[in-house]
Amino acid sequence: MVDFTLTDEQKSLRELAHDFAEREIRPVAWELDRTAGWPQAILDKAHAIGLMNTHMPEEYGGSGLSYLDGCIISEELAWGCSGVQTSLGANSLASVPVILAGSEEVKREFAEELVAEPKIASFCLTEPGAGSDVSGMRTRAVRKGDKYVINGSKCFITNGSYADWFIVYAKTDPEAGHRGISAFLVRKDDTIVVDKKEDKMGQRASNTATITFAETEVDARYLLGEENKGFKLAMRVLDHTRPGISAVATGISRAAFEFASTYAKERVQFGVPIAMHQAIQFLIADMATKVHLSRLATWNSAVLLDQGRRNTLESSHAKRFAADSAMEVATDAVQVYGGYGFIKDYPVEKLMRDAKIMQLYEGTSQIQRLVIARETLLPRRIEEPATATA
């Protein structure tokens, strides 16, 4: 049976997240965008009421919410401000590899710390020469006794300036391409330097930094999964996190749609509200459809994960469609506002800038199409569990 009716608990979660977005995020969102400020006070409050680290398993003190629950929360927070949501939500991206591949001892140490305090963890995959093609990474991890020594630089790292923990992907077999990558959980220390904070087009309330590891020593027990299996782990992680990113894109689309609908009913030209002009109605109708379908694709990809099923194709469908839709809906919202849409005193130009990143990070829209084409042209015959390698 196909049924997306939310349970009473899910409705309460949505209400909690929406109220938080309305009270704590919306009132400061445009100011944080202007100043590119770090929303620590919001993170503290969100952590206190359980809106951070939502997937942390119950056995480590977390709330153990489902992926669908996480998507419901993320859409509401991103409706408030997707930059703030990214600051709040990036711990999930960093936590998934630990939950999927960490030893029991490492999982417990990491998870209990994040649950106890609003600490930050960053996911460090991208490098200047290795974006979509992560096999080109140059960061090295060399085993010395019971330790690995890591050297290299990672760029565009979300929350990097504030991270207490880093998930670091590094080459352990430099000749083996993507089969020579391993993943490590690394605690912040003096050998880890934040080189640069990026000045971004959008999502300016999120922090993005370059992180350099110089002779960083990490105990071998912090290797996540097997040596040289880090690429497969990263692909599995992205299957788990793309539904959440799609939910963020849906939140941006919904905010843009709501602003545009309200404005269209208020703005009078040629003697009638512009919402009476069919050209504007059709823009609004297309926005509504894109919000609706983005949410359905997002929830579908999350529910498959919750059922323990492989969701590679569905999470790419959702990420591609929701991200491209967010860009289209936010651009059309600016169109509905006319010249005012281009002015910073009005809300929608921020949404248009924020939306752009959705088509870029966690796999660009082109990379999603590559995945969709591969999964469609060469479908896997056997239904694999979500924990199977990608």
Ligand X SMILES: Cc1cc2nc3c(=O)[nH]c(=O)nc-3n(C[C@H](O)[C@H](O)[C@H](O)COP(=O)(O)OP(=O)(O)OC[C@H]3O[C@@H](n4cnc5c(N)ncnc54)[C@H](O)[C@@H]3O)c2cc1C
Active centre residues (catalytic): 362
Provide the minimum distance between the beta carbon of 161 and ligand X in the complex, in angstroms, as a whole number.
12
Closest CA to 191 of 156, 166, 224, 220: 166
Name the closest residue to ligand X (Cβ): 131
| Cβ density class 145-168: b for 16+ within 10 Å, e for less | eebbbbbbbbbbbbbbbbbbbbbb
Q: Compare residues 157 and 233 and give the one whose CB is closer to ligand X.
A: 157
Provide the minimum distance between the beta carbon of 51 and ligand X in the complex, in angstroms, as a whole number.
19
Q: Compare residues 126 and 298 and give the one whose CB is closer to ligand X.
A: 126
Provide the minimum distance between the beta carbon of 155 and ligand X in the complex, in angstroms, as a whole number.
7
Q: Compare residues 71 and 157 and give the one whose CB is closer to ligand X.
A: 157
Backbone angles phi, psi at 131, to 5 degrees: -105, -95
Q: Compare residues 230 and 341 and give the one whose CB is closer to ligand X.
A: 230
DSSP single-letter state for residue 7 = P
Q: Are 80 and 26 in contact (CB under 8 A)?
A: yes
Task: Write the single-letter amino acid at 163.
Answer: A
Token code pair at residue 207: 């922090």
Bridge partner residues of 272 (DSSP):
269
Provide the minimum distance between the beta carbon of 82 and ligand X in the complex, in angstroms, as a whole number.
11
Provide the minimum distance between the beta carbon of 133 and ligand X in the complex, in angstroms, as a whole number.
6
Q: Where along the sequence are the contacts to ligand X (CB under 6 A)? A: 122-126, 131-132, 156-158, 200, 208, 357, 360-362, 364, 366-367, 370
Q: In the chain, what is the straight-line distance between the N-terminal and C-terminal CA atoms, in Å?
A: 27
Backbone angles phi, psi at 127, to 5 degrees: -135, 165
Q: Compare residues 111 and 357 and give the one whose CB is closer to ligand X.
A: 357
Token code pair at residue 99: 């939950």
Backbone angles phi, psi at 157, to 5 degrees: -90, 115
Provide the minimum distance between the beta carbon of 245 and ligand X in the complex, in angstroms, as a whole number.
10
If phi over 0 gives left and psi between -120 and 50 gives alpha, with beta otherwise, what is residue 345? alpha
Bridge partner residues of 268 (DSSP):
273
Task: Write the single-letter amino acid at 49.
Answer: I
Q: Compare residues 132 and 262 and give the one whose CB is closer to ligand X.
A: 132
Closest CA to 68 of 375, 315, 234: 315
